[in-house]
Amino acid sequence: MTTTSGLPPVLRRHLEELERLLAPQPFDYRREVLDGVREHIAEALAEGATPAEIVVRLGDPASLAAQAGEQGAPEAEPSRTRPGMSPARVLQLVAAALALGVTVFVILVTPAYTTVTTSMSSAHEASGESPAPDLDVVVTQETVWMLNAPYILIFAAIPTLLALVPLLARGRAWRPVSITSTALLVVVATAFSASFGWFLAPALLAAVIALVVPGPVSRS
């Protein structure tokens, strides 16, 4: 990634150390800072400064990295810092909670299967009080849980797990992971909608909005 070949060892080590210390910073920010320092070194060498002088004047890589870390990654407004969770993270948490909540509700509470059993009432026939035969209608309502447990859990967990995945992603991985898991959630919600209706719609909405509000990682 870094073209440090051809540089005096003391400068190469300086750049490598800086690159290592800036690793937690967003990619574009890190690249820009490293480019700046690299150009600085090239220019100072061309102006006749010695490698040792350049390293001393640049200062300790740790203090530069500490400054970068303290001031945080650049945002549209650099002075505005966002303590705590970013709006996107909060929405993703909401999406996961909604997915879990509605899944549990659908499995345990909503009657998914209604069985209607009819039978001739033999009691009435025997007594002969009523000429018309009575029909006994027994309506049994069964939830998804009653019929399919525990296999259903494996499928039911999928939306919740998909909604949870972006919350575990850190740094540069956050955006691609969030986009992928939200896309998969769309697919799963669509598939589930055929059997159970759009119960995942609120969670899906939260997950999609999370992709467009400010996230934990800055876009450059």
Partner 1 sequence: MLSCMVSERERIATNLRKGILEYCVLALLNHEPRYGVDLSRRLTARGLIASEGTLYPLLSRMRAAGLVDSEWLESEAGRPRRYYVPTERGRSQLEEFQTVWAPLRDAVDGLMKGAS
Q: Looking only at residues 13 through 32 of this chain, which bind partner 1 when binding is defined by CB under 8 A?
A: 18, 29, 32
Element spanning 135, H or E: strand 135-143
Asked if 94 and 209 touch (Cβ cutoff 8 Å), the reply is no
216 binds partner 1 (CB under 8 A): no
Query: 56 or 147: whose CB is closer to partner 1?
Result: 56
Choose, by CB under 8 A, the member of 76, 138, 154, 194 that binds partner 1.
76
Query: 12 or 124: whose CB is closer to partner 1?
Result: 12
Query: 57 or 123: whose CB is closer to partner 1?
Result: 57
Asked if 210 and 95 touch (Cβ cutoff 8 Å), the reply is yes
Binding residues for partner 1, rule CB under 8 A, total 29
Q: E-strand spans in 13-134? A: 111-120
50 binds partner 1 (CB under 8 A): no
Q: Which stretch binds partner 1 (CB under 8 A): 55-63, 93-101, 136-144, 146-154?
A: 55-63
Choose, by CB under 8 A, the member of 12, 17, 51, 75 that binds partner 1.
75
Q: Looking only at residues 141 through 200 of this chain, which bind partner 1 when binding is defined by CB under 8 A?
A: none
Quote the CA–CA distance of 49 and 183 in Å, as a whole number: 54
Q: What is the dihedral of CA 162, 167, 168, 172, to 10 degrees?
A: 110
Asked if 182 and 200 touch (Cβ cutoff 8 Å), the reply is no
Q: Count of CB atoms within 10 A of residue 89's CB?
A: 20
7 binds partner 1 (CB under 8 A): no
140-141-144 Cα angle (round to 5): 140
The footprint of partner 1 (CB under 8 A) covers: 18, 29, 32-33, 36-37, 39-40, 43-44, 46-47, 57-61, 63-64, 67-68, 71, 74-78, 218, 220
